[in-house]
Structure 1
């Protein structure tokens, strides 16, 4: 292994990379057995290759990159590694910037440099390119597998019924939750329209719950939202809000909120007793407190539409919300008080507040507990 040489000349010539001092790079380390038999052959280092490496580094979401690939200055993977006479390797642009600030030392060891050159570390560059290429092609293969599986499941759904349909939907839902590529493929291949077509009056809740679980994970365009706002589909969503599992009920609230964001949304679509009753049951369900916040969040959105406001008051929401106040956490309490405030803008809402015997005690209790 070459020995360190005494400082030679360090100055403006350092930036030229043309010194005659010996440079200890990774090729030397490999030859001397430091890295134990890594092939020293490297990539050509052309412009196209550097561009590809940059694309791979930026495109891969990797949390564990080998530390030898990381520049000590930027703590990012190196694309153009160069080695100093001290044996330390850096990203070329980073070490040149270090030099341009007037430093004549190695950033890692803080030794004064006795050689003014930086040498391309071809072996390390080869290792970096190979490692990222392998990860890149593994990722591409996984994405292709996911896309193919989504296409297969969509084709299966066109052909099967009963339990086979439920199983296909369950697998599709798992894939959609796990992979952004699956969600994109669903949209691009007409999957949204296909699974939405399964929400018909005779659809079982088992099928409907899986369909809704998929829909809430997708980015729905305007056409898809309008399609889902058909009365028969809203009716089925309302039924599942009453009778589905807690997960299905929460998904129903999220889907309805998404539909209400559409500019063509009409409040009469959700002005349904069954839907609002299911929503109140969700908010009041003490066995599943995780449903309270999404339920109140949807109720807040609904309460901003006057036709729905009147219906909310008429079916007795006001006293039930008042009774819930003492047990609500701060986030839920804020929503509940907002809803009560909105409902009190109606004469019927103010009357309901007045007639509820718990209005003053519960309001006073919450006020005192917040002090």
Structure 2
């Protein structure tokens, strides 16, 4: 039985003990035995390490220099083991010490640690072959479920779709199997005017996890399919709603389709639901995709989207804030959008609070919106803005390390406020001296 000299503690382990004690990830019994050498030699160690990149590796297999698994372990005279290429690089830099203990070396020879090499190869082979078996089992299960779907209807179809959705969500190999075997086209064909919401929900949950081709996207953009997605978005569970908006992000990017008011209502309803932060994020991402078209901007304004987004600003995290401000900036460039922003009492106070607080990008969007609002009604907006502390915030932007464009816009907005506000009060509000003014 081959022996392994551990690098710490001087403990000697044989291969069987290593498996039982968990060094190889085995649990003693239950089929966790050692794989035969002939099988090991057929699998390239480098390939196994790359494909098992996310797995936790026993510390005894890690090179102390690179902190990566060793493929050619060698031992120094101090008893410490390293990856050959790493220790040779250490020597080439002029070091003649052991990197771990910093002891002076009395012998510069490198002894191949064949036992540890075998142990590493065995452990990775065990994990790799187990992974391959799981993958093959998953692929077989996917094919079985796809075949079943072609034969069943009603509640059995719903249950089969649910099983396939769970497999696809959990395994990358399942996604590829479904795509390679025509699953995208078949599952897309299940979406139609007479599709039940339960079937639609499960089908959308599968499609959102698959790589869609341009032809698949064109097929899914058929009005009757989009209409079903909108219905599911408005009536489904939170998970289903999130899946819908994620799928629509893919479908609507680069397309000229005009979403219905019902779709926009459903997205805004998801964005307003504070109980589900992930739903808020996905809803805002979809709004960003579709709000760049002017006609859609007017639609968002017409259903009251502007005040809804403004009122939600204090509750958004930084990522959601950036998306929401991007959408509001686009809407502020539309006459009706700018008017809706002006008419919302919390627009200016909420935006002023965000200046120089989140990111330069958020500050840029907020300044653009404030400029459009103040320009629309200078006297009224200037008073509200200065009372909300805008002048002081603008001075911070001007004196900061922000890009010149932001400073220029801040200076223009500051001038607009000063021209439409009582001079002495304005100076007091932003704490300017007459010289600075």
TM-score range, shorter chain: 0.7 to 0.9
Instruction: In structure 2, list runs of 5 or more residues that go unmatched.
Output: 17-35, 355-388, 390-437
Matches within 5 A, 1:1-371: 29=5, 34-38=11-15, 52-262=44-254, 265-268=255-258, 270=259, 272-285=260-273, 288=276, 290-322=278-310, 324=312, 328=316, 331-353=319-341, 356=343, 359=344, 361-367=345-351, 369-370=353-354
Show CA shifts across 1:255-288 (max 9, x none).
11111124xx2233x2x23222222333334555
Between 1 and 2, higher relative CO (CA 8 Å, sep ≥ 6) is seen in 1
Matched residue SS, 2:82: strand
State the superposition RMSD in angstroms. Answer: 3.1
CA apart distance, 1:101: 2.7
Distance in 2 (CA, whole Å) between partners of 1:112 and 1:332 is 56
TM-score when normalising by structure 2: 0.67
| Deviation larger for 298-307 or 150-159 | 298-307
CA apart distance, 1:362: 1.0
Distance in 1 (CA, whole Å) between partners of 2:295 and 2:129 is 55
Aligned to 1:10: none
Distance in 1 (CA, whole Å) between partners of 2:289 and 2:164 is 30
- Mapped contact 1:253–1:298 kept (Cα < 8 A): yes
Distance in 2 (CA, whole Å) between partners of 1:97 and 1:168 is 56
TM-score when normalising by structure 1: 0.78
CA apart distance, 1:28: 8.6
CA apart distance, 1:227: 0.7
CA apart distance, 1:344: 3.9
Matched residue SS, 1:266: coil
- Mapped contact 2:3–2:15 kept (Cα < 8 A): no
Show CA shifts across 1:113-134 (max 9, x none).
3334222222221111111111
CA apart distance, 1:337: 4.2
Matched residue SS, 2:346: helix
1:279 and 1:79, CA in 2 relative to 1: closer, same or farther beyond 3 A? Answer: closer
Distance in 2 (CA, whole Å) between partners of 1:79 and 1:337 is 51
